[in-house]
Structure 1
Amino acid sequence: MRAAYGLPKRRFAEGALEELLINERRSVGRAVADLRRAIFCGFFALAVVTAGVGTTWYGARSGSPGVQITDVKGKVSCGPLIALDSRSMEIRVNGLAKKVPMRDVLAVKAVDECRP
């Protein structure tokens, strides 16, 4: 704002043309410095917003998504899916691979986090 209009203040008439020129040069120098500072702050704010959005979109998700399998006996198993074919599903439960035949699968549900 000061670069365009200056701060509102009472101005007194300068005594000589030389004083007027010196004061105007100082004023222009301050305005240029403020404009440079504003440009830097604008780019810095853009970088911070970009980093925040990038972290939000591409950052690590909380929890560990997986699948919850209920078999015909009512037993529920949950873990990340390792393999899937027409005969069986394989998931990782407590660090071990568990294969469940498709004929025994009653329901499959995708979950955000496996809870014990």
Structure 2
Amino acid sequence: SCDTSMASQLSELNRYPFLTNSDAHSLGKIAREYTKIKMDHASFAEFKLALEEKDGRAVTGNYGLAPRLGKYYHTTCEKCGVRPHAPDQEECHVCGHTRMTKGVSERL
């Protein structure tokens, strides 16, 4: 639910390569998000080299939906999808549901 620029705001993660991939729940959403990786050939050993940025292998890009357009960018009610008035609101002002999914923008 975030992109490279958002993930880089967490400095403790900067030593790790950022990967983004779709967990598509429908055929139309397959490859909506993907990571481009430079490898010599497809293998787990090559993938490991790319993650470690060794011997010319590397993650070269992450592509996908802009985070602001995603379902989980803002905190929303798990039942009706409405955003709360305040970040610490415990009950939905529309349907009364008591579970909110905290959005990635608020988690950062």
Common topology (TM > 0.5): no
More strand by share: 1
Which of the five TM-score ranges fits, normalised by the shorter chain?
under 0.3
TM-score computed with the length of structure 2 as normaliser: 0.22
* Greater RCO (CA < 8 Å, at least 6 residues apart): 2
In our comparison, the structure showing a higher alpha carbon Rg is 1
Q: Determine which structure has the larger helix proportion and give its number.
A: 1
Q: What TM-score comes out, normalization by structure 1 length?
A: 0.21
